[in-house]
Amino acid sequence: MRELIERISENADNRKEMSCCAKILKKCSFKSAKDLGNVTELATWLYVFGHYDDAVAVCDILKDMEFTGNYTLWDQADYALCLKARILRKRGDEKEREGLLKKVNEHRHPELYGNLVDWYRGTLNENISSDSGITVKWVWIMTKLVFAIKYREAGGHPIPDEEFEKDIAETVEALRAVR
């Protein structure tokens, strides 16, 4: 893992990737949601800036993580698997993608998805539109991107895939302006 993160850091063309790499190289415990969040944030920035092979490699850091009942930790592995599944779908690799999503959906509860629709369509957009500063704004945009990827790829959400795809395209474009 260290060699991968060092290589990505050396080739990084923006401060977000460099910052995530520095945090991971300093400390990365698989028992810390914050540390695992740094891994998934790096994978997301790599995805946003079109470094798909590196994004997949970073997602693979969490691919063998097992669900222990701790959703706080599992949420990061869940997202990494969904992000990788998205990239694989775009590349036409359905077989590996399906295996990833099977693992993800073993620990999902689709009966609760309806509770998230108003938050996604309302609260999240209100937070993005607020005048709370550029740093807070990009955090909310990143939150929207992560949510859209997680639920678009895993399937079964009441929000249509087309809406998620539109939101993913818009949030990626907005985040590319953050360097």
Per-residue buried b or exposed e for 137-157, using 16+ beta carbons within 10 Å of the residue's own CB:
bbebbbebbbbbbbbbbbeeb
pLDDT for the residue 178: 82
**What pLDDT, in 10s, does the model give residues 131-173?**
777 778 899 999 999 999 999 999 999 999 999 999 999 999 9
Query: What distance in Å separates the CA atoms of residue 103 and residue 38, rounded to the nearest whole number?
Result: 22
Low-confidence ranges of the chain (pLDDT < 70): 179
Contact (Cβ atoms closer than 8 angstroms) between residue 150 and residue 116? no
Q: What CA–CA distance (Å, rounded) separates 34 from 105?
A: 23
